[in-house]
A and B are shown apart, each in its own frame.
Chain A
Amino acid sequence: MSKSGNVARTLARTTAETLVTGGVVVLLFAVYLVFWSDVQTAAAQVDLRDDFKQQVAAAPVTNSAAPPAPVRPSAGSGVAVMKIPRLGDDWSWVVVEGVSNEQLARGPGRFPETALPGQVGNFAVAGHRATHGEPFAHIDRVREGDKIIVEAIGSTYTYVVTSTQIVPPTEVGVLYSVPGKPNARPRKARITIVTCHPRWGSSERLIVHGKLAETRTGKEA
Chain B
Amino acid sequence: MYAALWRVLPGSNAVKAAVAVALFLAFVGILFLWVFPAVQPLLPFDQITLESEPTSSAAP
In the complex, whether B49 has a CB less than 8 A from a CB of chain A is yes
| Residue contact A170 to B52, C-beta cutoff 8 Å | yes
Q: Which residues on B sit within 8 Å (CB–CB) of A32?
A: 31-32, 36, 40
> Interface size class for chain A?
35 or more
A85-93, A151-159, A171-179, A183-191: which lies at the interface? A171-179
- Knowing A14-B1, A100-B59, the reply to whether A126 touches B48 (Cβ < 8 A) is yes
Q: Is A131 part of the binding interface, using a Cβ–Cβ cutoff of 8 Å? A: yes
Does the CB pair A25–B45 fall under 8 Å? no
Segment 91-139 of A: residues with Cβ below 8 Å from B: 99-101, 104, 111, 113, 126-131
Residues of B within 8 A of A194 (CB): 48-50
**How far is A171 from B54 in the complex, measured between Cα atoms in Å?**
10
Q: Which of B28, B39, B48, B59 contacts A129 (CB 8 A)?
A: B48
Does A205 contact B31, Cβ atoms closer than 8 Å? no
The answer to whether B59 touches A169 (Cβ under 8 A) is: no
Check B45–A169 contact: CB distance below 8 A. Answer: no
Nearest-neighbour CB distance to chain B for A149, whole angstroms, equals 22
Residue in B1, B31, B40, B52 whose CB lies within 8 Å of A172: B52
Of B1, B47, B59, the residue contacting A202 (CB under 8 A) is B47
Interface size class of B (residues with CB under 8 A): 20 to 34
Whole-angstrom distance between the Cβ of B43 and the nearest chain A Cβ: 8
Shortest A99–chain B CB gap in Å is: 5
Q: Is the CB of A29 within 8 A of B49?
A: no
> B44 and A174: CB pair below 8 A?
no
Q: Roughly how many angstroms separate A13 CA and B6 CA in the complex, as a whole number?
A: 15
A196 close to chain B: CB less than 8 A: yes
State how many angstroms separate the Cβ of B31 from the closest Cβ of chain A. Answer: 6
Interface pair B44/A128, CB less than 8 Å apart: no
A-B contact sample (16 more), CB < 8 A, given A28-B32, A172-B50, A202-B46:
A18-B1, A28-B36, A29-B36, A32-B40, A33-B36, A33-B43, A100-B59, A126-B50, A128-B46, A130-B45, A170-B50, A170-B52, A172-B52, A200-B44, A202-B47, A202-B48
Q: What are the 3 A-B residue pairs with the smallest beta carbon separation, nearest first?
A: A202-B44, A130-B45, A202-B47
Q: Please give the residue numbers on chain B whose beta carbons come within 8 Å of chain A beta carbons, in ascending order.
A: 1-3, 28, 31-32, 36, 39-41, 43-54, 59-60
**Could you jot down 11 A-B contacts, CB within 8 Å?**
A14-B1, A25-B31, A29-B36, A29-B39, A32-B31, A128-B45, A169-B47, A194-B50, A196-B45, A202-B44, A203-B44
